[in-house]
């Protein structure tokens, strides 16, 4: 079998709107109050990306979907903490409510 790498990305706003999700993309109609308790959120964009690589060692595949959330009101900006990462590190994304680790990884060369 020949080696190959395939990547594909899609912008999904148009397709989701055509499938009946118009209100989710409209700031005055969207209701994501189940996420933060207010009706200030709406979907701005939704993207999907997939990746597959096949070689003599095996197959690697991944897919991800991301949504860009907009707000109807300007958020209050708090002072930022600046962190300089100039050496290898581990990272994780954890759901603070359930404490479940959703994603874990390591960066060996943060340049």
In tens digits, the chain (111 residues) has pLDDT values of 578 898 999 999 999 999 999 999 999 899 888 887 777 889 999 999 998 999 888 888 888 889 888 887 765 667 777 778 788 888 787 888 888 887 788 888 877
pTM of the model: 0.57
Sketch the domain layout of the chain as residue ranges: 4-73
Q: What is the distance between the alpha carbons of residues 6 and 62, in angstroms, rounded to a whole number?
A: 11
Residues 42, 13: contact at Cβ < 8 Å? Answer: no
**Structure token digits, residue 44:** 């701005």
Give the sheet arrangement for strand 41-54, strand by strand: 4-11, 41-54, 59-71
């Amino acid at each position: 079998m020949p080696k190959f790498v395939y990547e594909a990305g899609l912008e999904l706003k148009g397709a989701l709107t055509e499938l009946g999700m118009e209100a989710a993309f409209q700031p005055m109609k969207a209701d994501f109050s189940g996420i933060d308790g207010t009706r200030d959120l709406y979907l701005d964009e939704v993207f999907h990306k997939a990746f597959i690589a096949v070689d003599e060692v095996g197959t690697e595949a991944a897919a991800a979907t991301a949504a860009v959330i907009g707000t109807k009101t300007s958020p209050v900006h708090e002072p930022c903490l600046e962190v300089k990462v100039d050496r290898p590190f581990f990272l994780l994304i954890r759901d603070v409510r359930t404490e479940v680790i959703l994603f874990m990884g390591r960066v060996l060369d943060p340049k």
